[in-house]
Structure 1
Amino acid sequence: MERLLIVGCGDVAQRALPWLTRRYRVYALARNSATAAHLRAQGAIPVAGDLDCRKSLHRLAGLAPLVWHFAPPQGTGEHDMRTRALVAALAARGSLPRALVYISTSGVYGDCNGAVVPETRPARPATPRAGRRLDAERSLRQLARRGVRVAILRAPGIYAADRLPLERLLRGDPVLRREDDVRTNHIHADDLARLAGAALHRARGGRVFNAVDDSALYMADYFDQVADACGMARPPRLPKHEAEARLSALTLSFMSESRRLDNRRIKSELRCRLRWPTVATTLASLNLKDTPCCG
C-alpha cells in the first residue's frame, strides 16, 4: 500500500480515516501519547513529533510519498513557523514527497466587497491570522520548486452536523442587518476531506483551489438557516456599530470581509462532486431538533 503522512490529523482528516486506511498505509503526526493512542485506534500509525519542536520531526524525512498538511499556524507572529519546520523536515536528506495537499484559508484574499473571487485574485490578507496562512503557502511553494506536486485548498467556514454555531444561537449573539451584512462561504467537513483526497492525485503542481460549496449566503442568512433547522430563535439583526459593542474582535473580523468564492476549478479539475452542495441540503438531511442544544 502507498504511504500517506497526515500532519494535523484533526477533525477533517479523521473523518477520512475510514476510507484512507483502506487505500493507504496512513501515518499521522502525534504530539503526545493520548493523541497517538486515539489515532492508532482509528487505524493510523502514529509518528511522535511536534511542529513546535523542529528536532522532533526528524522521522518525517522520506517517510511517505504523499502528505496531507492540515495543521494550523501558531497563534502569533507574521510567519507560520510550523509549516517552515515541516518543510525543513520533509526536505532533509534530499528525500522529498511526491505530492502534498495543504488546507489554507480563503481569508488570504482579504475583503473583496462581495465580489466573485477566482483563485487568480491576488492575496491580500487583512489579519495576522490570514497572513500566517499565506506565509505557509509561500513556504510550501519552495517544495513545489523542487518538484513536489503541491496543491493548496483555500477553505472558508468549515461546518458539519457537529460543527454548527448552536452555542452562539443560544446566547442570542447578533448578526448584521442586510445593508451591513457580508457574503460568506462554506464547505462541509466531509467534502473538504474528499477534496483533499482528490487533490492528492488529480491536482496539477502549484495549483490553488477554492474549496467551497455552492451556497453563496449572506452571513446572517446562514445563522437563520441553522436556527430554523434547529427550531431555535433567529439571531437579532443589528446595524454594524451596535453589533460591535456586543461581539468579540475575532467574530467582528469575520464580519469585516465579504467575498463569494468561485468553485468552478474544484469541479472541472478535481472532478469531485460535493456530497453536500449547499448548507440547506445538509440541514434538510438532519434531525437537529432532537439534539441537546436545540428546541
Structure 2
Amino acid sequence: MSRLFCFGLGYSAETLAARLAHQGWQIAGTGRDSANVQRLEAQGYAMVRFAGEPGNHALVEQLRGTTHLLHSIPPGRSGDPVLAHYRDAIAHLSSLAWIGYLSTVGVYGDQQGNWVDETARTLPNSARTEARVEAEQAWLAFGEETGVPVQIFRLAGIYGPGRSVFDKLRDGTALRVKKDGQVFSRIHVEDIAGVLEASIARPRGGATYNVADDEPAAPGDVVAYAAELIGVPPPAEVPFEEADLTPMARSFYEGNRRIANTRIKSELGVKLRFPTFREGLAALLEETAPSRSA
C-alpha cells in the first residue's frame, strides 16, 4: 500500500494528496493548527499537529509505513526542523522510496530578468532564501547518505482556487505595481501536483526541478488581464517606490528572473495543463462561474 506523508499538508501538498487519495493511497501529514488538522481528518487523512518541535511521538508513529514523503515546511532560524528533529526516524523507514522537498525559485535571487535553469548558481539575497539553499543542500546530502531518492522542487509563484488575483480584485486589495523590466514566473497548483506525480513515477535521486509555467510576465499585466476577464476596470498603476507593500511582498521585487522549465518536460514528460497565466485564470473563472441548469 502506497502511503504519502506530508510535512506541512498545506495548499500545494493537499492538491497532490487529493489526487493520490483518489487512486487509493493512504494520506498522512502534519498541520500547525487544530482547525486545519480536523478539516483534513474529516477527509480521511491521518493528521498530527506539528509546529517544528522535537519529541513528537505521534508524528513518529504516523511516519510508519511511509513510502513517499513530501516536505513543504519552510526552514526556521535554526534550520530545517524536520531534519533537525526527525532525521533518524526518517532514515530508518525501510519502506521509503521517494522524498520531495518543496523549495522556491527565490534561491536564484536577482538575475536581472535573465532566464535561469537548474544549473544556474543560487544567489540568495535574504536570510530566508539563504536558509532555503541550506535546507536543499541538507536534504540532498541526506539522500546521498541514505540512498533514498531526494528531489528538490523550486516553485514559482503559486496560484489556484482561492488563491489568485481574482480574489484580490473582488475584495479591492489588488495592486497593479509598475517596476520597469520586472517579471515574475508563476505556476498553477494543479501543475505542481502534476510535476510531483511525474517525479513519483520516475524518481531521480539528487535532481532539482524548476516548477514554473512557460511565460514569465509583468505583475501588472496579469492583474489587467484578470480584470478584463471579469469585466472590471483594472486598478491604476502604482510606481513600485510608492506602492503600499508589506516587507515580504516588497522583497519579492528584489528578484527579477525568468524561470526556465525545460527539465520537467524533458526528464519527467510533463505537459503543463496551464502553460501560461491566461489558461490558468480562464480555468479559475470557469470553475467559479454559476452552473447552468439544462
Quote the residue 2:187 is aligned against. 187
Using a 3 Å threshold, how does the CA distance of structure 1 residues 34 and 240 change in structure 2: closer, same or farther? closer
Deviation for aligned residue 1:282:
1.9
* TM-score between both structures, scaled by the size of structure 1: 0.86
Deviation for aligned residue 1:147:
0.6
- Specify the code of the residue in structure 2 equivalent to 1:68: L
User: Aligned residues, how many?
Assistant: 284
* Structure 1, unpaired ranges of 5+: none
Quote the residue 1:271 is aligned against. 269
8 Å CA contact retained: 1:84, 1:139: no
Distance 2:28 2:63 in 1: 13
Deviation for aligned residue 1:65:
2.3
SS at match of 1:280: helix
8 Å CA contact retained: 1:116, 1:262: yes
Which stretch shows the higher mean deviation, 110-119 or 276-285? 276-285
Deviation for aligned residue 1:112:
0.4
Query: What is the 5 A alignment of 1:1-295?
Result: 1-21=1-21, 22-31=23-32, 33-46=34-47, 48-56=48-56, 57-59=59-61, 62-74=64-76, 77=77, 79-91=79-91, 93=92, 95=94, 97-145=96-144, 146-166=146-166, 168-169=168-169, 170-171=172-173, 173-177=175-179, 180-243=180-243, 246-287=244-285
8 Å CA contact retained: 1:144, 1:206: yes
Q: Percent of counterpart pairs with the same letter?
A: 31
Deviation for aligned residue 1:55:
0.3
Distance 2:88 2:246 in 1: 36
Distance 1:101 1:147 in 2: 14
- Specify the code of the residue in structure 1 equivalent to 2:25: Y
- Specify the code of the residue in structure 2 equivalent to 1:151: Q
Using a 3 Å threshold, how does the CA distance of structure 1 residues 49 and 85 change in structure 2: closer, same or farther? farther
- Specify the code of the residue in structure 1 equivalent to 2:132: R
8 Å CA contact retained: 1:61, 1:96: no
Quote the residue 2:292 is aligned against. none
8 Å CA contact retained: 2:182, 2:253: yes
8 Å CA contact retained: 2:37, 2:49: no
Distance 1:138 1:60 in 2: 26
8 Å CA contact retained: 1:4, 1:26: yes
SS at match of 1:183: coil
Q: Deviations over 1:190-230 (max 9, x none)?
A: 11112112112313111000001112212221222222223
Two-structure CA RMSD over aligned residues (Å): 2.6
8 Å CA contact retained: 1:90, 1:96: no
Deviation for aligned residue 1:50:
1.7
Distance 1:198 1:290 in 2: 28
Distance 1:268 1:253 in 2: 32
Distance 2:97 2:287 in 1: 46
8 Å CA contact retained: 1:172, 1:236: no
Using a 3 Å threshold, how does the CA distance of structure 1 residues 215 and 241 change in structure 2: closer, same or farther? same
8 Å CA contact retained: 1:51, 1:85: no
SS at match of 1:71: coil
Distance 2:97 2:87 in 1: 13
